[in-house]
Structure 1
Amino acid sequence: MIRLFDFVFALMGLVFGAPVFVVLTVIGLFDTGSPIFRQERVGRDKRPFTLVKFRTMKVDTASVASHLASSSSITPFGHFLRRTKLDELPQLWNVLIGDMSLVGPRPGLFNQEELTEARGKLGVFAVRPGITGLSQVNEIDMSTPELLAESDAKMIAEMSVSNYFKYIFQTVVGKGSGDRVKG
């Protein structure tokens, strides 16, 4: 049932959001010269997949978790995208093709061994990663791997259609602030 919701909402978001995508892409071209960011992430069953987002950091920024990146790497337009969570919109493509869900644990990087190990112990990789979820609306990010893995496992254990819509609604109305970055 949730996969059906994911597919329908991602398709609708991509179709009806197309004008917004075009505008953000054009602005992103002027901001960084490369508005779309692609990065290999850890997916369901620890399989790699390519996550797509709007670029918020300078092109030459090292491929590390947000909390390890310097805030000086974030462009002015990138600050806007992060604050409004519009940087996440291209992930609707990942949801549409089945790499991700709208709701699930945020996909980590392969170099985040502590997070991957903690999630592995708690069975978090049994589900598709998501754009938002319990951790995101409660501002638990990848800088606290054990807590994040525990929160992800709790969300998975308590997942229902009702919670699915609750996390989406909380994200849309602005609950949670996204991943922190170093000052």
Structure 2
Amino acid sequence: MYMKVKRLIDIILSLIGLIVLSPIFLILIIAIKLDSKGPVLFKQKRVGIRKSHFDILKFRTMSIDTPKDTPTHLLDNPEQYITKMGGFLRRTSLDELPQIWNIFIGQMSIIGPRPSLWNQYDLIAERDKYGANDIPPGLTGWAQINGRDELPIKVKAKLDGEYVEKVSFWMDVRCFIGTIVSVVKSDGIIEGGPRMNSKNKGKVPKRKIFNRN
């Protein structure tokens, strides 16, 4: 029953978001076009409800010669592909705003497991264990406020499973508020993954490199 209410909430809030945030959309579109060549939006195949595929929308943050369908942390020297505007968009999570459209048309929800790349087979398989592939993916979720990019795949999938088990209006409110706090504090953003050497092996470096899903 709540899932039907949840969908109605998604439609109402995403429509309001598209209208209210339209001036910000316009400013960002102009800034992206002035900063680098290429389209304003970046489309990428992601896994939706019941493992269907859809194109997630983001503001483009990388140059047009970036290898496609490759998680950023697996790229060689990912910083070379990030545009100046792209760095700002990623730090502030403003690159995610176009996903409001994905939410409005029903491909995503405001709260839910973050949609995996179509070729992240290990994460998809882990989520299958918890039924996390059977609900709409979200703009943010329980895993995102409990570690974001710091989480190993098995832990992330388990947290997604906890969300599925406890999904409710108040759980969604908790995730929403927690996301705002995480974004403001930039908690758990490791953009590119840790650089390992003999001194920092197993540790997460303080400097940020790019590893955003």
Please, what TM-score do these two structures have when normalized by structure 1?
Answer: 0.92
Q: Is the 8 A contact 1:32 1:59 kept in 2?
A: no
Post-superposition CA distance 1:133-177 (Å, at most 9, x none): 111112233872211111111111112111211211222232544
Q: Does 1:29 align with 2:44?
A: no
Question: With structure 2 as the length reference, what TM-score do the two structures score?
Answer: 0.80
| Counterpart in the other structure of 2:201 | none
- Structure showing greater radius of gyration is 2
Superposition map of 1:137-152 within 5 A:
137-141=145-149, 144-152=152-160
Shift of 1:25: 0.7
Is the counterpart of residue 99 in structure 1 residue 107 in structure 2? yes
Q: Are residues 1:20 and 2:31 paired?
A: no
Distance 1:179 1:38, change over 3 A: farther
Decide whether the 8 Å contact of 2:61 with 2:86 is kept in 1.
yes
CA distance in 2, matches of 1:26, 1:140: 29
Counterpart of 1:181 (choices 189, 192, 200) is 192
RMSD: 1.7
Cross-structure match for 1:42: 47
The answer as to 2:78 corresponding to 1:67 is no
Correspondent of 2:135 among 120, 124, 127: 127
Q: Distance in 2 between matches of 1:130 and 1:60?
A: 28
Paired with 1:7 and 1:178, the residues of 2 have a C-alpha distance of 29
Please give the secondary structure, in 2, of the residue aligned with 1:124: coil
Distance, in Å, in 1 between the alignment partners of 2:36 and 2:174 is 35
- Which runs of 5 or more residues in structure 2 are unaligned? 194-208
Distance 1:105 1:91 in 2: 14
List, as ranges, runs of 4+ consecutive aligned residues in structure 1 with deviation greater than 4 Å: none
Give the partner amino acid of 1:132: T
Q: Structure 1 vs Structure 2: percent identity of aligned residues? A: 38
Q: How many residues align?
A: 183
Q: What do residues 77-102 of structure 1 show as CA deviations (whole Å, max 9, x unaligned)?
A: 11111111111110000000000000
Q: Could you tell me which residue of structure 1 aligns to residue 197 of structure 2?
A: none
Counterpart contact for 1:104–1:131, Cα < 8 Å = yes
Change (3 A) 1:178 1:44: farther
| Structure 1 runs not aligned, ≥5 long | none
1:178/1:155 CA distance change after superposition, 3 Å: farther
The amino acid across from 1:128 in the alignment is P
Question: Residues 6-38 of structure 1: CA distance to partner in whole angstroms, max 9, x if unpaired?
Answer: 111100000111110011011111223222101
Matches of 1:158 and 1:53, distance apart in 2:
29
